[in-house]
Amino acid sequence: YWINDFTSSLGVGVFHSGIEVYGREFAYGGHPYPFSGVFEITPGDTAELGETFKFKEAMVLGRTDFREEDVERIVEEMGKEYKGNAYHLMHKNCNHFSSALSEVLCGREVPGWVNRLAYFSSCV
């Protein structure tokens, strides 16, 4: 988002995140239906997300011992909790999903700055 050009130096911004594992990127987004909002895209390909998205960076969060088939099952199960109609910009967004998936896969959440703006906004 254009606002990130001004706010990133302050440690906040509007960021989309996904988790890349086995050459696939999993992310979460909202829609008006009561089924999974989890989706798969080509890693780092913001064109699939739309023109308002700009790739910032990829970072290694850790390694997983899960096999690719296990990851698929985990993502499918998480889709039951991360339904499209449950998406909320402050309380249940793509960064919450990415952090939860990363925690399951490698025991580490995404860095705090990724979702800091949503956290601060939810405190107001």
Positions marked catalytic: 16, 94
Cα separation, 66 vs 50, whole angstroms: 31
Cα separation, 117 vs 95, whole angstroms: 11
| Nearest partner of 99 among 89, 90, 109, judged by Cα | 109
Longest Cα separation, the chain: 41
Q: Angle at which helices 68-81 and 94-106 pack, to 10 degrees? A: 140
